Amino acid sequence: MKKQEEKRFLLLLSKLAIAFREKVTEEQASLYAEYLGEFPIEKIEKAVDRAIKELKWFPKISELRDFILDDFENDYLVKQGRVKEIQIYGNEIVEKEIMVETEKEKEIAKKFLSELQQKWEKEDEERKKDRIIKFEERREQLRKQAKMVLGGE
């Protein structure tokens, strides 16, 4: 996290502390920063606002991470041409995905999905290479062990 983002992050923790009437220690702030610092500060801000609106108690790191990942999912759905519609019935929240039919959004979704597919294929190839290397290393170790057990044959 950059220095300016650290200040914003600490302000967000202060906002949570005030909203939930809790004290946040340096250790807690450090832990929250460690596990949330990988996300853009804007996503953390949205998660904090959502926590204040929806939770009864000071949010756990995992709850904020879930809110952030939900936000990424919503961004993905929008880019894909699908949007979540949220309806509230009493105490129950119902989410529905609805399709957005504009050509521009369809093109954005196709491009985004294509980029994701390429990324996943690359990651799969890297994993396969890593597995092969580990397999070969393990096989060599076993050969050496077998030689030692069999007396150098």
Instruction: Label residues 11-23 b or e (16+ Cβ within 10 Å = b).
Output: ebbeebeebeeee
> Rounded CA gap, 52 and 126, in Å?
41
H/E stretch holding 85: strand 82-89
CA-based R_g, the chain, Å: 24
> Rounded CA gap, 28 and 150, in Å?
56
Give the up-direction half-sphere exposure of residue 79: CA atoms within 13 A in the CB hemisphere. 14
Least confident range of 56-60, 99-103, 123-127, 129-133:
99-103
Cβ–Cβ contacts within 10 Å for residue 91, how many? Answer: 5
Q: How confident is the model at residue 14 (pLDDT cuts 50, 70, 90)?
A: very high
pTM of the model: 0.54
> Rounded CA gap, 120 and 76, in Å?
15
pLDDT (tens digit per residue) in 112-139? 778 878 888 888 899 999 999 999 999 9
